[in-house]
Amino acid sequence: MVNIFLNGCCGRMGKAIAALCENNPDYKIVAGGDIIENNNYGFPVYTSLNECTEDFDVIIDFSNAKAVPAILEFALSRNKPFICCTTALSDDTVNSILAASEKIAVFKSANMSLGINMMVELCKQATRILYPEFDIEIVEAHHNRKLDAPSGTAMMIASAIDQEISDDIEFVYDRHSVNKARSKNEIGISSIRGGNIVGEHSAMFISDEEILTISHSAQTRDVFAKGALTAAKFMAGKEKGYYTMSDVIAQYIEK
């Protein structure tokens, strides 16, 4: 059993993780942290992290960008693996997480879905085989309440593709103001916002004769909660270092 400290436990994703753990013998949330006091859980919720006296194996953080430095310091003080599921982090916070990985085990991914990370691996393979004969375009769609565009996941896919290309790649987000033909070294990234779309991502590899589309559709937000728990099991007992969902997927590929 993996014992978890869940930061941001009163948020939407925190509640989803708590619900998945209720009847799962592989995981137990022993304590949580949030700015909101909540006595409805079967575990204590601390508004001040330093008040926590429970022992645990890993920390899962699904809070907000401003809260990450404090929970990272808490992970360092307790010498526990830290799983950062929070997005839209500042460069300073990202650098702090990288620095922390020299002392503790740190896990970070822009998207906690196992499926979307499998999509990233497939896109990398497709790029190695198809570029530069194929143009590459990325399309993402989310609910109408999402603030950022393009999504962090779209940028994660684009960056992974870019790493497989030796050319200098240009990310193009908006074509309406540029009257010119598409350059070969472009990766177009388009965003759609509407309704209650959880998350749709497609990478299109386009030649004159054919189109290959690699896509992922999140049906519920539970996919992100399940991914966080998969990461928790992977990280329990890990030595210091920086880990991503690619490391989780690699263990399945190697089998």
Cα–Cα distance between 215 and 238 in angstroms, integer? 32
Nearest to 186 by CA among 202, 167, 166, 170: 170
Tokens of 251: 């263990």
176 is catalytic: no
Residues 6+ apart with CB under 8 A from 35: 47, 67
Which tokens in the block code for residue 194?
Answer: 């509407």
Catalytic-residue membership of 143 = no
Question: Can you give 52-97 as a three-state secondary structure string?
Answer: CCCCCCEEEECCCHHHHHHHHHHHHHHCCCEEECCCCCCHHHHHHH
If you count them, how many residues does the chain have? 255
The residues pairing with 139 across neighbouring beta strands, listed in sequence order, are 190, 202
First to last CA, the chain: 23
- Residues 6+ positions from 152 with CB-CB distance below 8 Å: 87, 88, 110, 111
Of 28, 124, 146, 238, which residue is the catalytic one? Answer: 146
Tokens of 93: 């916070």
15, 80, 142, 201: the active-site residue: 142
Instruction: Measure the CA–CA gap between 110 and 117, rounded to whole angstroms.
Output: 9
Angle (CA) 49-66-62 rounded to 5° is: 65
Catalytic positions are 142, 146
